[in-house]
């Protein structure tokens, strides 16, 4: 993914026409569009190919299975036109390596969730986050997902993974995180959903975030 605006849209709408309209409006402000279960379950897998003309598509299926099943899932998602797939990391190194091997063969990206941005992530996930980050670096994944709601954790994760892997960070806006703070903490991209797609002017909302990021890089 090209590092330009440093903004990734999380397009969690469930209507095809709305998804297309928003994608058209914000295409100039985003480096990628992340789509996941809400939109794909509502419209079908072909939405991936349809939206890929506006921006590279990262498929957020938080894949979390045994190596063979992970590989089979990723195969289908890449075939549908996605440039990247998001996996959970807690399933361990072999599950991750199976997906990374396939992605490298197809020149695609795998991003690994370390610990999540919501409060409940403190129950179980945070304890595993640093180990997952190290595993993602060892497996040579393209990047990790780390929480904009806890920029200090992004800084810790950056120390663990070094500069080879990207950090993509959700939790900006609706969840209380700040785009500029998390970029300063070491994230490469922010993922923003509701603050953009629920805005009356999605393109202006996206531009505002891009401008805020520009001031700190």
Residues involved in catalysis: 62
Q: What's the DSSP call for residue 162?
A: T
Rounded distance, CA 4 to CA 44, Å? Answer: 29
User: How far apart (Å, rounded) are the C-alpha atoms in residues 195 and 5?
Assistant: 16
Q: Which is nearer to ligand O7M, 54 or 111 (CB)?
A: 111
Residue 32's beta-bridge partner residues? 8
Q: How far is the CB of 86 from ligand O7M (least distance, A)?
A: 4
Separation of CA 200 from chain center: 24
Q: Among residue numbers 53 through 92, which ones bind ligand O7M (CB under 6 A)?
A: 60, 62, 86
Q: Segment near ligand O7M (CB under 6 A), from 95-103, 134-142, 178-186, 191-199? A: 191-199
Q: Using CA atoms in the order 7, 56, 142, 205, what is the torsion angle rounded to 10 degrees? A: 10
| CA–CA separation, 135 and 94 (whole Å) | 10
Residue with tokens 């440039």: 83
User: Closest distance between ligand O7M and the C-beta of residue 10, in Å?
Assistant: 4
Total binding residues toward ligand O7M, as defined by CB under 6 A: 21
Kindly give the residue spans of alpha helices, DSSP state H, lying in 37-189: 37-43, 46-51, 67-79, 93-105, 125-138, 151-161, 179-184
Contacting residue, 81, 151, 173, 186, with ligand O7M by CB under 6 A: 173
Binding track over 122-161 against ligand O7M, x by CB under 6 A: -----------------------x-x--------------
Site string for ligand O7M, 89-108 (x = CB under 6 A): --------------------
Interacting residue ranges for ligand O7M, rule: CB under 6 A: 10, 12, 36, 60, 62, 86, 113, 116-117, 145, 147, 170-171, 173-175, 191-195
């Amino acid at each position: 993914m090209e590092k330009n605006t440093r903004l990734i849209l999380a397009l969690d709408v469930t209507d095809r026409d709305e998804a297309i309209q928003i994608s058209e409006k914000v295409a100039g402000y985003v480096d990628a569009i992340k789509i996941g279960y809400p939109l794909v379950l509502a419209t079908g897998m072909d939405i991936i190919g349809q939206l890929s003309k506006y921006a590279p598509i990262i498929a957020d299926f938080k894949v979390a299975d045994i190596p063979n099943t992970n590989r089979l899932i990723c195969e289908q998602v890449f075939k549908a036109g996605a440039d990247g797939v998001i996996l959970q990391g807690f399933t361990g190194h072999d599950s991750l390596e199976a997906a990374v091997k396939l992605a490298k063969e197809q020149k695609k990206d795998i991003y690994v969730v370390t610990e999540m941005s919501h409060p409940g992530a403190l129950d179980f996930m945070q304890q595993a986050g640093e180990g997952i980050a190290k595993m993602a670096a060892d497996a040579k994944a393209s990047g990790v997902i780390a929480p904009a709601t806890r920029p200090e954790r992004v800084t810790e994760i950056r120390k663990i993974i070094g500069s080879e892997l990207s950090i993509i960070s959700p939790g900006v806006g609706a969840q209380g995180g700040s785009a500029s703070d998390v970029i300063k903490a070491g994230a490469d991209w922010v993922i923003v959903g509701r603050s953009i797609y629920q805005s009356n002017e999605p393109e202006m909302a996206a531009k505002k975030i891009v401008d805020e990021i520009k001031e700190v890089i």
